[in-house]
Amino acid sequence: MKIAINIPLVDKEEITAVTSILRNGVLTSAANQGGKHVQIFEKSVSSFVKSKYVIAVNSGTAALQAALYALDIGPGDEVLVPSFTFVATANAVVSTGAKPIFVDILKENFTIDPDDLQKKITKKTRAIIPVHLYGNVSNIERLDEISKKYNLPIIEDAAQSLGSTYKRKHTGTFFDMGCFSMYPAKVMTSGEGGFIVTNNKKLRDKLLMIRNHGMVHGYDTKIFGLNLRLSEINAAIATVQMKKLPKFLKIRKNNANFLSKLLSDLNIQLPQQQKNENVNWYLYTITTKQRNSFVKKLNEKGIGAVSYYPTPVHKTPFYKLKTNLPITDWASKHVVSLPIHPKVTKTNIEFIAKTIHDIL
């Protein structure tokens, strides 16, 4: 028995959509508004997350880059980010010439710590990027207070939180811009892809240029931009996946609830939703002592348990910074994510729970 941590869920519908694009021959579009299927996809996302504007791009990283470019972040600027996240959050900042300033996290849900965040604001601070890690929603109220007090824009890194809500409002829609990923391991996929959501028309118009070499009508580059476009092929896959997303999320929630019930008698930190929060259960993450041996034993049984992330960004060879982030360091040594994606069956979950009981 092998149970992967996450797998893309595609079938005949996605294959038919791709085949149709290939037969049509229009594989991508350099039009300002994007190709036909890109526009269809953007409308489906807009309807789902209740955002006025959606700008599709070719990866979650590209979404972060484009959002930073739209705010004119550059050399000499500082952007506050958590270190306990995938490296793309910080790399996107570095790609603009700005400097990522690493912030600690909250122990209860691994999202950015507002108190540590506020302490690290300087005259050079130009933006904040909280990460809704594992699908957990960051502290929206505190972030809003800080944003208003210091007049700082917020880019939500919602790469892992499509479908997560707080007070029935979707992540990515609380502040200036929200950035999402459609990498194959996410709750839905386009193969490779991402998108930005915003309610600000000026930012939307700017983002449309940024994703397309700064152009509006072709060869009329007005601002700095790159080729960050989403292809028609990827957009067609994403449109089909968006239709399936509510079902995907429902199964993940049921699996998470069942697993929590079976593990509730153990002395481990289980994932907890905060009041008014509805997470997408992208990753079901627990903490335990002797994490490495624990993961090894689960893997030996065919259970795709994974540690996200054993090395915080600030300790990776590229960054190699001596920064005091005690909760980040603690989490990096104790977190374990378990499979609960829609392909995981009730029998699988019972096996996972039994194996964990046997180990602990």
Report pLDDT for 161.
Answer: 98
DSSP secondary-structure letter at 200?
Answer: -
Structural domain spans, the chain: 12-240, 245-359
Q: Of 82, 136, 137, which is closest to residue 104 (Cα–Cα)? A: 82
Reduced to 3 states (helix: H, G, I; strand: E, B; else coil), residue 330 is: helix
SS3 state of residue 194: strand
List 28's β-bridge partners, or say none. none
How far CA 285 is from CA of 73, 125, 233, in Å, comes to 33, 31, 33
- The CA distance from 182 to 220, in Å, is 30
CB-CB neighbours of 343 under 10 Å: 15
Q: What is the structure's pLDDT at 1?
A: 73
The CATH code that applies to domain 12-240 is 3.40.640.10
Q: What is the pLDDT along the chain (360 residues), one digit of tens a residue?
A: 799 999 999 999 999 999 999 999 999 999 999 999 999 999 999 999 999 999 999 999 999 999 999 999 999 999 999 999 999 999 999 999 999 999 999 999 999 999 999 999 999 999 999 999 999 999 999 999 999 999 999 999 999 999 999 999 999 999 999 999 999 999 999 999 999 999 999 999 999 999 999 999 999 999 999 999 999 999 999 999 999 999 999 999 999 999 999 999 998 999 999 999 999 999 999 999 999 999 999 999 999 999 999 999 999 999 999 999 999 999 999 999 999 999 999 999 999 999 999 999
CA distance 235 to 50: 19
Q: Angle at CA 216, nearest 5°, toward 215 and 221?
A: 30
Q: Token digits for 57?
A: 């791009």
Six-digit token pair at 164? 């997560």
Question: Is 245-359 a CATH 3.90.1150.10 domain?
Answer: yes
Give the Cα separation of 197 and 14 in Å (integer).
24
Closest CA to 346 of 261, 247, 271: 261
Tally Cβ neighbours within 10 Å of residue 77.
Answer: 18
